[in-house]
Amino acid sequence: MRDQLIAIVDDDDSVRVALASLARSAGLRTKAYASAADFLAEDLSFFDCVVSDIQMPELSGFDLLRAVRSRRAELPVILITAFPDERVEQRAISGGARFFLEKPCNPNLLVTSLAEAMEPGGRG
């Protein structure tokens, strides 16, 4: 899992910094974005995985997921939310998210999910 580039997308500065720090502590490189639009303006070919909040102004995590699926379908996306419920989780997974996690994320679960999502033939 070393040296892979993870996009962290969250409109909350403190969450974005915490997620990026956690990924870096697992040996991953990160690039953080305050909005889905900022991330989607990038060349997605450089990324190995995306971790995105669901509830953000303008473009949601679901909007980001749809855009990633249309531009680079194999790019793993992990969606996170502070407001989980079964309906939202089902929408995330059926939309193509590899994992759906609750904020605050359990650090071990997030690192394990990142590793699994980026495995060749990984979940999803």
pLDDT recorded at residue 97: 98
What local confidence, expressed as pLDDT, does residue 120 receive?
77
What's the rounded Cα separation, in Å, for the pair 37 and 33?
9
Q: What angle do the packed helices 61-71 and 86-94 form, to 10 degrees?
A: 10
| Residue 13 burial by Cβ neighbours in a 10 Å radius (0-12, 13-18, 19+) | exposed
pTM score above 0.85: yes
Give the pLDDT of residue 124: 42
CB atoms within 10 A of CB 118: 17
Summarised one tens digit per residue, pLDDT across range 31-81 is 999 999 999 999 999 999 999 999 999 999 999 999 999 999 999 999 999
SS (H, E, C) the chain: CCCCEEEEECCCHHHHHHHHHHHHHCCCEEEEECCHHHHHCCCHHHCCEEEEECCCCCCCHHHHHHHHHHHCCCCCEEEEECCCCHHHHHHHHHCCCCEEEECCCCHHHHHHHHHHHHCCCCCC
